A = this chain, B = another copy of it.
Amino acid sequence: MRELKQERAVRTRAIILKAAAEVFDELGFSGANIREITQRAGITQGAMYFHFGSKEELARAVMKAQPMTVLPHLATRGLQRLIDLTFVWAHRLREDVILRAGVRLTGEQNSFGMHDPTPYQDWAAVMSECLREARAAGELSDNVDIEVLADFVVSACTGMQMYSQISCERADLMDRVVAMWQHLLPALRAPGDVSPLDGSALRAAEVLREIAPQRLGAGQETRTAP
């Protein structure tokens, strides 16, 4: 009985988060309001406040959820995982409203008085993990400081999606990500490392083909890690 209740709470929370993301994605933080979100989620205000105490708390939860829209789609390790992560991210950003709203809120938070670096730091932590695997596997040049590089990739991705959004609603974002790897990989690879690392547009297409069946399926809620 208690377990059933917990399951329902988890499901309700996910429904609220999705509804909030839709509203934040459309209207931004200042344009969004709790009533619109509860209506879209089909729940009472009471249920809403049981899960999220305020609009700000909702915004934090949406920002925080970003990595989980990408990580379940990754099957590789080390430096290739980091590359694949950016490809999946660029793709999901056009498809997944939670990711898109999280990115919008993260970028706009300054304008509504929030100053929360954790969405950036969470991405950097995920990327650092890939880089630690890469180092252990001998893929990574000794010159690379893992935390510094992870921060740089987070920054570059942040700026690329902004520039791409304002230029063409992110239609060219994948090309920009491919170009990033072309510019970065020479400095990152350990001399003599022969692992078949691929940051090309062909690899990007391959990664997207691998996640395509899921994407056409029942949605990310049912996705399990490969």
Q: List residues of A whose CB falls within 8 A of some B CB.
A: 28, 30, 104, 107-111, 115-117, 120, 143, 145, 148-149, 151-152, 154-160, 162-163, 165-167, 176, 179-180, 182-188
Residues of B within 8 A of A110 (CB): 104, 108, 165-166
Residues of B within 8 A of A116 (CB): 166
Question: How far is the CB of A100 from the nearest CB of chain B, in Å?
Answer: 12
Kindly identify which residue among B107, B108, B111, B183 contacts A187, using a CB–CB cutoff of 8 Å: B183
> What separation, in Å, do the CA atoms of A110 and B167 have in the docked complex?
11
Name A169's closest neighbour in chain B (CB-CB): B115
Residues of B within 8 A of A160 (CB): 152, 155, 159
Q: How many copies does the complex hold?
A: 2
Name A119's closest neighbour in chain B (CB-CB): B166
Question: How far is the CB of A105 from the nearest CB of chain B, in Å?
Answer: 10
Question: How far is the CB of A41 from the nearest CB of chain B, in Å?
Answer: 23
Name A164's closest neighbour in chain B (CB-CB): B155
Kindly identify which residue among B104, B145, B151, B156 contacts A155, using a CB–CB cutoff of 8 Å: B156
A151 and B166 contact, CB distance less than 8 A: no
Instruction: Pick the most buried of A117, A154, A155: most chain B CB atoms within 10 A of its CB.
Output: A155
Name A183's closest neighbour in chain B (CB-CB): B187
Name A167's closest neighbour in chain B (CB-CB): B117
Residues of B within 8 A of A184 (CB): 183-184, 187
Question: How far is the CB of A23 from the nearest CB of chain B, in Å?
Answer: 14
Residues of B within 8 A of A145 (CB): 179
Contacts beyond the supplied A152-B176, A155-B156: 20 A-B pairs with Cβ under 8 Å = A30-B30, A30-B111, A108-B108, A108-B111, A109-B166, A110-B166, A115-B166, A117-B163, A120-B166, A120-B167, A148-B179, A152-B179, A154-B163, A155-B159, A158-B163, A159-B162, A183-B187, A183-B188, A184-B184, A186-B186
> What separation, in Å, do the CA atoms of A187 and B184 have in the docked complex?
7
